[in-house]
Structure 1
Amino acid sequence: MRLAFSTLGVPGMPLPQVLRLAADHGFHGVELRTHPEEPVHTGLSPAQRATVAEEFEATGIRPLALAGYPRVAAPGEDGPVLDKTRELLHLARDLGAPFVRVFPGGGDAAPEEADAAAVRRLTALAPSAEDAGVRLLLETHDSHLTGAAVARVLEAVGHDSVGALWDTLHTWRGGEEPEATYDALGPYLGYVQVKDAASADDLTPLPLGDGTLPLTEVIEQLSRAGQEADCWLCWEYEKRWYPSVPGIDPLLPGAADHLRRLLAASA
C-alpha cells in the first residue's frame, strides 16, 4: 500500500514545501484540499496548472486526489453542485490526479431523498469523470457515515468512474466494523483516509497510534482482501479545523513509521 497525507494538516503551506515534506518522510502522494485559500484550487490558470503538474512530476510525488466540497446529496438545485464538481474534475485532469472527493451533505433530508439526489447527480457526473480520466469518490461522511450508506448510492449509480472514499473516522463513529465497511465498499473503493482521535465524542486529531480508532483492523482487512498493491492510505490530520493542535510537520516521520509497522504486521 502507498502512503499519502492531506494538506488539511498544513493549511496554506506553499506546494514546494508540501512536496519536500512528502519526499523527505517517504510519502508517495498528497491529497490536496482544494479551496480558494489554498495554493491549489479551481481558479488556477492553465499556466499555473501546468506549473503545479511539473512540480509534482519533478519530485516523483503523486497528486493523489483533490478534496473538494460539493455536497451531492444536499437539498437544492442540481446545477451548482454539478458545475463545481466538473470544475474539480477538469482540475484533476490537468494535474494528473486520479481522484476527486465529494461529500454527501444530505443534512436533514429523509434518507431516501438524500440518496435520490446523490444518485441523480453522480449519474449525471459520471460521463464527465470518465472523459477526464478521473474517478469521482463519495466519502463516508455526514449524512452517509457508513460504508453501507455510501454503497446504497453507488450501487444505484452503477458506473466505474464513481466510487468510494473510506474515511475511517466516520465509519467508526457510525458503529460499523472495518470488515463490514470493506464488505460494503470493496467493489467501489478508491482509497482510505486514516486518522486517530481519543473517542467518538472527542474528535480532536491525534498522532496516528495515540487514539482509539481501529487502524490495525482496517489495514488487516485491506491486506486480507488483497489490496497491498493497489490501495492508498492517506493520513488526514485536520489541523485546519483544530488550530490549537500541534503542526503536522514533526508528526510526519512517526505517522509514516506507524503505518509501515501496521503494514508489516498485516503482511
Structure 2
Amino acid sequence: MRLAFSTLGLPGMPVPEVLRLASGAGFHGVELRAHPEEPVHPGLGLTERVEVVERFKDAGVQILCVAGYPKVAEGGEDAPVLAELRALLELARDLGAPYARVFPGGVDAGPAEGDATAVRRLRKGAAMATDLGVRVLLETHDSHRTGADAARVLRAVGHPGAGVLWDVLHTWLGGEDPETTHRMLAPYLGYVQVKDVASRSDSMPLPPGKGVLPLAQVMELLTRARDTAEGPDTSAGGGAADWLCWEYEKRWYPEVAELPALLPGVRDHLRGLLADAAQSRTGRRGVPRRTPR
C-alpha cells in the first residue's frame, strides 16, 4: 500500500516545497487541497496545469486526489454545485489524479432530504467523472460521517464513477467500529484517510499512534481485503485500497508541530502498522511466524 499526505492543513505552501517534503520523506503521493487560496485549484489555466504535472512527474510523486468543496447533500439549486463539481473533475483529469473529493455538507437538511439531494447530484457527477476518466469520492464527513450514511447514498447512486473516501476519525466519532465501517464501505472504497486524536472530546490532532484511534485494526482490515482481492485492480470495490493518506491539520490547529518534523515519524509508524498487519495475516494463513528464541 502506498502512502500519501494531505496538503489540507498547509495553506499556500508552494508546489516545489510540497514535493521536496514528499520525496524527501519517502511518501508516494499527495492529496492536494483544491481551494482558490491554494497554488493548485480549478481556476488554474492550462499552462499552469501542465507545469504542475511536470513538477510532480519530475519528483516521482503522484497526485492522489484533488480535494474540493462541492457539498453534494447541501440544500439549494443543483446547477452551481454541479458546475463546481465539473470544474473539480476537470482539474483532476488534467493533473492525472484518479480521484476528486467532495463533502456531503447537508447538516441543515433532514436525512431523507440530504440523501435524495446527494444521490441526485452524485449520479450526474459520477457520469461526468467516468467521461473524464476519474472518480468522485464522497468523504465520510459532517451530515454523512459514518459508513452507514455514505453507503446508503452510494448504494442508491449505483454508479462506479462514485465512491467513498473513508476518513477514519469521522466514522469513529460517529460510533462505528472499523470492521462495521469497512464492511459498509467495501464496495465503494477509493482510499483511506488517517489521523489521530487524544479522545472523542479532544479533537487536537496527534501523530498516528499517539492517540486512541483504532488504526491498527484499520490496517488489518485493509490488508485482509488486499489479500482476498481478485485481479490487479483494487481501486473500485472489494474493500481493498491502494493508498493510505495522512491528513495534517495545522491550518486549523496552529499549535501542531511543523510538517517536516512529523513526516518521518508518521511514515515509519504507518509502515510499521502495515508490516504488522501483513505479518499477522501471514501467520493466520499457516506460515510459521518467527518468534524469539
TM-score, structure 1 normalization = 0.98
**What is the deviation of 1:11?**
2.1
* CA distance in structure 2 between the aligned counterparts of 1:111 and 1:202, rounded to whole angstroms: 27
Superposed CA RMSD: 1.1
1:39 maps to 39
Deviations 1:12-47 (A, max 9, x none): 111011011111111000000111111101111100
Q: Secondary structure at the match of 1:70?
A: strand
**What is the deviation of 1:10?**
2.5
* CA distance in structure 2 between the aligned counterparts of 1:133 and 1:11, rounded to whole angstroms: 28
* CA distance in structure 1 between the aligned counterparts of 2:267 and 2:220, rounded to whole angstroms: 17
Deviations 1:177-225 (A, max 9, x none): 1111110001100000000011111111111111111100111111111
Deviations 1:89-121 (A, max 9, x none): 000000000000000011121101100000000
**What is the deviation of 1:237?**
1.5
1:155 equivalent in alignment to 2:188: no
1:249 equivalent in alignment to 2:244: no
Counterparts in 2 of 1:48-127, with a 5 A limit?
Answer: 48-127=48-127
Check the 8 A contact 1:33/1:66 in 2, yes or no. Answer: yes
* CA distance in structure 2 between the aligned counterparts of 1:86 and 1:8, rounded to whole angstroms: 20
Q: Secondary structure at the match of 1:208?
A: coil
Check the 8 A contact 1:168/1:193 in 2, yes or no. Answer: yes
Deviations 1:138-181 (A, max 9, x none): 00000011011100000000111100000000001001011111
Structure 1: which amino acid aligns with 2:59? T
Structure 2: which amino acid aligns with 1:88? L
Check the 8 A contact 1:36/1:43 in 2, yes or no. Answer: yes
2:245 maps to 234
Structure 2: which amino acid aligns with 1:150? A
1:16 maps to 16
* CA distance in structure 2 between the aligned counterparts of 1:184 and 1:260, rounded to whole angstroms: 25
**What is the deviation of 1:60?**
1.1
1:205 equivalent in alignment to 2:216: no
Q: Secondary structure at the match of 2:261?
A: helix
Q: Report 1 or 2 for greater relative contact order, CA contacts < 8 Å, sequence distance ≥ 6.
A: 1
Counterparts in 2 of 1:188-203, with a 5 A limit?
Answer: 188-203=188-203
Q: Secondary structure at the match of 1:169?
A: helix
1:216 maps to 216
Q: Secondary structure at the match of 2:226?
A: coil
2:276 maps to 265
TM-score, structure 2 normalization = 0.89
**What is the deviation of 1:231?**
2.0
State the 4+ residue runs in structure 1 displaced beyond 6 angstroms: none
Structure 1: which amino acid aligns with 2:242? C
Check the 8 A contact 1:9/1:247 in 2, yes or no. Answer: no
Which runs of 5 or more residues in structure 1 are unaligned? none
Q: Secondary structure at the match of 1:245?
A: coil
Structure 1: which amino acid aligns with 2:226? G
* CA distance in structure 2 between the aligned counterparts of 1:88 and 1:123, rounded to whole angstroms: 16
* CA distance in structure 1 between the aligned counterparts of 2:226 and 2:42, rounded to whole angstroms: 35
* CA distance in structure 2 between the aligned counterparts of 1:259 and 1:245, rounded to whole angstroms: 19
* CA distance in structure 2 between the aligned counterparts of 1:62 and 1:138, rounded to whole angstroms: 20
* CA distance in structure 1 between the aligned counterparts of 2:223 and 2:96, rounded to whole angstroms: 27
**What is the deviation of 1:245?**
1.7
